[in-house]
Amino acid sequence: MTRGDIIVISGPSGSGKTTIYRALLSNMAGLSVSVSYTTREKRAGETEGDDYYYVDEQEFDNMINCNEFLEYAKVFGNWYGTSRSVTEAIVSGGNDALLEIDVQGGSAVKTAVPEAVLIGILPPDRETLRERLFNRARDSREDIERRLEEAWKEIAQLRNYDYIVVNKDLETAIRQVECIVTACRLRRKRAKDAVSAILHEKGDVRKWLE
């Protein structure tokens, strides 16, 4: 069975990355969520195993010591980590593993798995990002200012990503990310099964994929 890809979506708070991430899961078949672990408290409306796996710091430390994370990072005082085994089960089963993680985590995934596909989501400008954070009325003014300060750092780090999508219009941004995922699935390495059915000889397939 042809392996799937690891697809990472990152961007600062207010960029729309979560909305785009959810739209991909709704619109495209063959995508599975690699649910992250976190030490932060569960927010209203979140569900264990769907949004995150919620653990305390001691359990998280144990998982680090056992090398159970593909990547992990501390963000705004809380730890987040992507399970190696969960992600591997997805891609080895032929589906694409979709990760919504921060830029630091995305870079760590790329280091561990160079063929991973990193997609960065940007707001069109600073003022739009500020307005989005204030309009969603979820954080205090102090938290918003902190997130804005962090956002400028994250945006600078997105230069290392494979693709950048500017979310000026949400529907357009969603279609652009869907096109990226589709293009990844059309790469030569993902055509191995189809080529094998045509060429029959495994040696020919290996040569074709070189």
pLDDT tens, position by position, 9-19: 999 888 899 99
d(C-alpha 31, C-alpha 173), whole Å: 18
Looking at the domain 6-33+95-209, which fold is it?
Rossmann fold (3.40.50)
Residues 140, 2: contact at Cβ < 8 Å? no
What's residue 115's pLDDT?
Answer: 94
In Å, how far from its chain's centre is CA 33? 9
More confident residue, 136 or 23: 23
pLDDT tens, position by position, 52-89: 999 999 999 999 999 999 999 887 799 999 999 999 99
Residues 33, 82: contact at Cβ < 8 Å? no
Tokens of residue 189, six digits? 């390495």
Can you list the pairs that 51-54 forms with residues at least 24 positions away whose Cβ atoms lie under 8 Å? Answer: 52/80
Q: Where are the domains of the chain?
A: 6-33+95-209
Query: Could you tell me the pTM of the whole model?
Result: 0.82
Phi–psi pair at 82, nearest 5 degrees: -105, 125
Residues 15, 126: contact at Cβ < 8 Å? no
What's residue 142's pLDDT?
Answer: 76
